[in-house]
A and B are shown apart, each in its own frame.
Chain A
Amino acid sequence: MKFWSQTAAILMKDILTEYRTRDVLTSMLLFGLLVILMFHFAFESDLEGIRKFGPGLLWMTFIFAGLLGMNRSFAGEKENDALEGLMLSPVSWSSIYLGKMLANLLFLLLAEAIILCLFSFLFNYGIWPRIGWMAAITFLGTLGFASVGTLLAAVSANTRMSEVMLPVLLVPLVLPVILSAVLATAANFAQPPEEQVMFFWIPVLAAYDIIFVTLSLMTFDYVLEK
């Protein structure tokens, strides 16, 4: 019980910081828009092309925007030694991890929801009939991405050139999550939808999430420790 209220406190702290500055969400959204714009020039964004590349493009936008957002998650704490304060406060370190992870998850999901709407609007990509399953896939994929991402953001915050270190470490490690999420999304939006394929990948995604969240919780203490 105490653990969860501590987690909630950390989560609220991050939400409050974000509410006051709006740094992370704004930069993620602008960056997402830029990626969409570049994709338009890179690929002919006709219906055929979008049908084929859409799911991959969508997840690439999520990943790039997410990397940008998660880089801030511990870099901000490093300024003014705020992390030391957090570590000294009477909360378990696992709840620091979980609180920050949930905050990242929340910001990422918000940004992704908006990017998804923009994507559908700009490319005339019909998502609405299948939005329920898309939400489930996005949630599971983002959970896997954010769980490892938060841990590695804490790792890379301790390095020189931390902005570079996070993507270099994170992308190969979450590749299975990205892969399953893209394939599930593609199956979901296929014409007609390939339910069987989708229902294969959704449990796989959930399994990765369990593995990655557990592993991150187990190792986070080692990252913080001084």
Chain B
Amino acid sequence: MIDLQKYLGLLALLAMMAALYAIFVLAPVELTMGIVQKIFYFHVASAWVGFLAIYLVCFCSLRFLRKRDRQWDVRAASAAEVGAVFLTLNLVSGPIWAKPVWGIWWTWDARLTTTFVLWLIYMGYLMLRRLVESPEQRARLSAVVSIFGAVNALVVYMANRWWRTQHPQPVIAGGEDSGLHPDMWLALSVTLLALALLFFCLWKMGCDLERSRESVESLRRIAQRHLREVR
């Protein structure tokens, strides 16, 4: 039997090595920003993975509502947890890059705001899961919230774009508009692949963890019932 998790983990490790090589050796140092621009690869790739994860959560939730199979709820929950981690990575790496380049840690620019709002949606979703007692109800309620979250991620993104087009501001962009150097593209793609593999590996682990958590929960319930009967 193939241990999927082990293979995914190994692949992620290899891809991560390749990504580090591509970032630090292959890709040229950016002209104006210098070495700090290297953060770009992980920063952007983690944002993409984090954003796509909410759609994965929504997809799994829709499957759950249709099939009523608890496995889909477990998948949704764990995808949300891992997605939130990736988005947090993005939100942490952003200011580290922004401070030396823009001179500020944070600006209420469209993209930053969007990411922040999506992160809050993730947190709300995860908090909701902790605060509903019955597993069946938890699955249903969080599925509904995740559908709203996914629709909203798109809407907030658009709203922010319109907002900025209405009130143009001197946006302090990173200067990538002119397109990437081919080697930079390569490094970004490899990093994206590495992070995606890592995501799937963690997702798989999260699902297993969630499953054992649930079986512990039900075992505990059975044990309590027995204990009551004995008394």
Residue A118 lies at the interface, judged by CB distance under 8 Å to chain B: no
Q: Once the chains bind, are A165 and B128 in contact (CB under 8 Å)? A: yes
Instruction: Please state if B140 and A215 are interface contacts (CB–CB under 8 Å).
Output: no
Note all chain A residues with C-beta closer than 8 A to B223. none
Q: Answer whether residue A90 sits at the interface, using C-beta atoms and an 8 A cutoff.
A: no
| B7 → A minimal CB distance (Å) | 36
Q: Mark A198-226, 1 if CB is under 8 A from B, else 0.
A: 00100010001001000100010011010
B127 touches A165 (CB 8 A): yes
A169 at the binding interface (Cβ < 8 Å): yes
Pairwise interchain contact A211-B159, C-beta atoms closer than 8 A: no
Contact B159 A180 (CB under 8 A): yes
A211–B155 touching, CB < 8 Å:
yes
A48-56, A125-133, A135-143, A152-160 - interface stretch: A152-160
Residues on the A chain within 8 Å of B127, using CB: 165, 168
**Cα separation A165 to B125 with both chains bound (whole Å):** 10
Q: Is B194 located at the chain interface by the 8 A CB criterion? A: no
A180 to B144 Cα, complex, angstroms: 24
A151 interface hit (Cβ, 8 Å): yes
Distance, CA A185 to CA B124, complexed state (A): 28
Contacts known (A165-B127, A168-B127); A222 close to B133, Cβ less than 8 A: no
Contacts of B140 in A (CB 8 A): 222-223, 225
A188–B163 alpha-carbon span in the complex (Å) = 16
Taking a contact as CB atoms under 8 Å apart, the answer to whether B155 and A165 are in contact is no
Whether A155 contacts B166 by the Cβ 8 Å rule is no
What's the tally of chain B residues with a CB closer than 8 Å to chain A? 29
User: Given A165-B128, A172-B121, A208 and B141 touching (CB < 8 A)?
Assistant: no
Which residues of the partner chain B approach A183 to less than 8 Å between Cβ atoms?
163, 166
Interface of A is mostly: helix
> With an 8 A cutoff between CB atoms, is B29 at the interface?
no
Binds A, one of B31-39, B74-82, B146-154, B210-218: B146-154
Say yes or no: A158-B159 contact (C-beta < 8 A), given A168-B123, A173-B149, A197-B166: no
Hey, which chain B residues are within 8 Å of A211, CB to CB? Answer: 151, 155
A159 to B123, CA, bound (A): 15
Size of the A side of the interface (Cβ < 8 Å), in residues, is 30
Knowing A173-B152, A223-B144, say if A160 contacts B131 (CB, 8 Å).
Answer: yes
Asked whether A175 lies within 8 Å of B156 as measured between CB atoms, the reply is yes
Interface mask (A176-203 → B, CB under 8 Å = 1, otherwise 0): 1001100100000000000001001000
Q: Is B193 an interface residue (CB 8 A)?
A: no
Residue B137 at the chain A interface, CB threshold 8 Å: yes
Closest B residue to A176 by beta carbon equals B159
B145 within 8 A of A: yes
Q: Shortest 5 CB-CB distances between A and B: which pairs?
A: A159-B131, A172-B120, A176-B159, A169-B124, A219-B144
Other than A156-B128, A223-B144, give 10 A-B pairs with Cβ distance below 8 A.
A161-B131, A169-B124, A171-B120, A172-B117, A172-B124, A173-B149, A176-B152, A222-B144, A223-B140, A223-B141
What would 17 A/B residue contacts be, using CB atoms closer than 8 Å?
A155-B141, A156-B128, A158-B137, A159-B132, A160-B133, A161-B131, A165-B131, A169-B124, A172-B117, A173-B121, A173-B124, A175-B156, A175-B159, A176-B155, A180-B159, A200-B162, A211-B151
Residues of B within 8 A of A (CB): 65, 117, 120-121, 123-124, 127-128, 131-133, 137, 140-141, 143-145, 147-149, 151-152, 155-156, 158-159, 162-163, 166
Binding site for B on A (CB under 8 A): 148, 151-152, 155-156, 158-161, 165, 168-169, 171-173, 175-176, 179-180, 183, 197, 200, 204, 208, 211, 215, 219, 222-223, 225
